Every structure is written in structure tokens, then in C-alpha cells.
């Protein structure tokens, strides 16, 4: 596998993210676009929906005119067991940044989203 682009944020349209092929031969699923492995993406669009569960997550929809994609901003840094093994100061900074981003995500605003491509409840 050519890893040269695997860990980089590729600029993709939401339409591109709706039809990746996935394989879960390892612990984490691998997505590919045009036979190229992709793990991270960046996209721009308008926020069209927002579902906020304080201290858990913010799920929102990004629409650029080609398609809509669901995005999740996790807000559970202070209660998640994964972060319990990390430096508490770093985790607090991360949690604070996530809270600030969540406050800025409002319906109708244009946003640039960068992150890891994953699936949640059978949805990419």
C-alpha cells in the first residue's frame, strides 16, 4: 500500500465521501477513493443540521451542493477512558478547544471540516 497520502488530509467533496470503498481487515477500517487509500479528509460547506449532546458530542451535517455528509465533534475528552492515560493538561486544552468549536458550529454558517474518515452506526 502506498502510504504517501494515507495520513494526509485530502480535499474532497462531500459527494466523494459518500461512495468510498471500505475494508476492515485491520482494527480500523480503511477507506479508498479511486483505488487510493484515504484516512483523513477536508471539506467545505454550509452547516444544515446540528444535534448537540453536551459533554458527549456534536453531530452536524455539512452541505456543499454536491451532497451532505455527517460530521461528529467529540466532546467527551474529560470522561472518555481513552484520554485517561494522557496528560491531564493536554486533555483539558483539547476539551476546551472542542467546546469552543462546538459553540461556533451553527446552522447556516460555512465551515471547513478536517478529520479522520470513519463510520458511526453504519454511516461514513
Q: What is the pLDDT of residues 32-83, one digit of tens each?
A: 777 777 788 889 999 999 999 998 999 999 999 989 989 999 999 888 888 8
Q: Which residue has the higher pLDDT, 16 or 114?
A: 114
Q: Residue 84: its pLDDT value, please?
A: 82
CATH number for the region 9-114 comes to 2.40.50.140
DSSP for 10-42 reads: EE--HHHHHS-EEE-SSSS-EEEETTEEE-EEE
Q: Which residue has the higher pLDDT, 85 or 99?
A: 99
Does residue 74 sit in helix, strand or coil?
A: strand
Residue 22 has pLDDT above 70, yes or no: no
Residue 2 has pLDDT above 60, yes or no: no
Would you kindly state where each structural domain of the chain is located, as residue ranges? 9-114
Residue 26 has pLDDT above 60, yes or no: no
Residue 14 has pLDDT above 90, yes or no: no
CA proximity to 108, closest of 48, 65, 50 = 48
Q: Which residue has the higher pLDDT, 10 or 78?
A: 78
pTM beyond cutoff 0.85: no
Amino acid at each position: 500500500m502506498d502510504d504517501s497520502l494515507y495520513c494526509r488530509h485530502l480535499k474532497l467533496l462531500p459527494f466523494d465521501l459518500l461512495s468510498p470503498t471500505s475494508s476492515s481487515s485491520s482494527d480500523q477500517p480503511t477507506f479508498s477513493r479511486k483505488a487510493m487509500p484515504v484516512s483523513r479528509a477536508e471539506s467545505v460547506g454550509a452547516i444544515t443540521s446540528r444535534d448537540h449532546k453536551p459533554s458527549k458530542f456534536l453531530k452536524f451535517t455539512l452541505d456543499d451542493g454536491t451532497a451532505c455528509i455527517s460530521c461528529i465533534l467529540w466532546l467527551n475528552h474529560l470522561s472518555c477512558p481513552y484520554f485517561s492515560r494522557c496528560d491531564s493538561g493536554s486533555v483539558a486544552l483539547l476539551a476546551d478547544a472542542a467546546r469552543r468549536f462546538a459553540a461556533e458550529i451553527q446552522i447556516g454558517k460555512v465551515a471547513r471540516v478536517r478529520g479522520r474518515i470513519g463510520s458511526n452506526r453504519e454511516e461514513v
